[in-house]
Amino acid sequence: MEARTAGGQLSTLELTAWRGLLRTQAWLERELDRKLLDAEGLSLSSYEVLLRLAQAEGMRMRMRDIAGSLLISRSGLTGIVNELERRGYVTRERTADDGRGIEAALTKTGLAAFRKAHRVHLTGVRELFLRHLSDEQLRQLAGVWAAVGNAAGPDLASPQGR
């Protein structure tokens, strides 16, 4: 096994692992985005916003919290929410607790759109990613993400991450 050092060039193994992660993530995001756009007219980013809202208590979240969970800028989120609001999937309201913040709230129409898109997303994840891996490989990956992801904090996409 090649020695790993804190500085200098990446070893061939390290570089292959790193580039593989980046390439696979980019490909999966592009393909999931395409599938969602083709089937439901929703981008992957829009789907992720709807997912956060569907999982949130009362199906509403502060805009800054959505942006933080998606690791995007507030201005980037504003563009996505503008489109979702135009389609009737979300509304924006002042927060009840302080009146200064803005919350996005999922509408009934938005929940229906999310449920359709969710089926497409799950099918895509299984087809593009999960079917290629054995249960042992999935366990190994889960361990890898837990080891590396501890530094990033909890999985904000999951209800446990809230």
Please say if the pLDDT value at position 98 is more than 70.
yes
* pLDDT tier, 156 (very low <50, low <70, confident <90, very high otherwise): very low
* pTM of the complete model: 0.85
Q: What pLDDT score was predicted for residue 7?
A: 76
Paired strand residues for 91: 105
Please say if the pLDDT value at position 154 is more than 60.
no
CA 130 to each of CA 38, 43, 133, 139, 155: distance values in angstroms, whole numbers, following the listed order: 21, 21, 6, 12, 19
Residue range 12-52, pLDDT digits in tens? 999 999 999 999 999 999 999 999 999 999 999 999 999 99
Q: What pLDDT score was predicted for residue 73?
A: 86
The β-bridge relationship of strands 90-94 and 60-62 is unpaired
| Of 155, 55, 41, 32, nearest in space to 104 by CA | 55
Domains of the chain as residue ranges with CATH:
27-147 (1.10.10.10)
SS3 labels along the chain = CCCCCCCCCCCHHHHHHHHHHHHHHHHHHHHHHHHHHHHHCCCHHHHHHHHHHHHCHHHEEEHHHHHHHHCCCHHHHHHHHHHHHHCCCEEEEECCCCCCCEEEEECHHHHHHHHHHHHHHHHHHHHHCHHHCCHHHHHHHHHHHHHHHCCCCCCCCCHHHC
Mean pLDDT is highest, among 91-100, 105-114, 153-162, for: 105-114
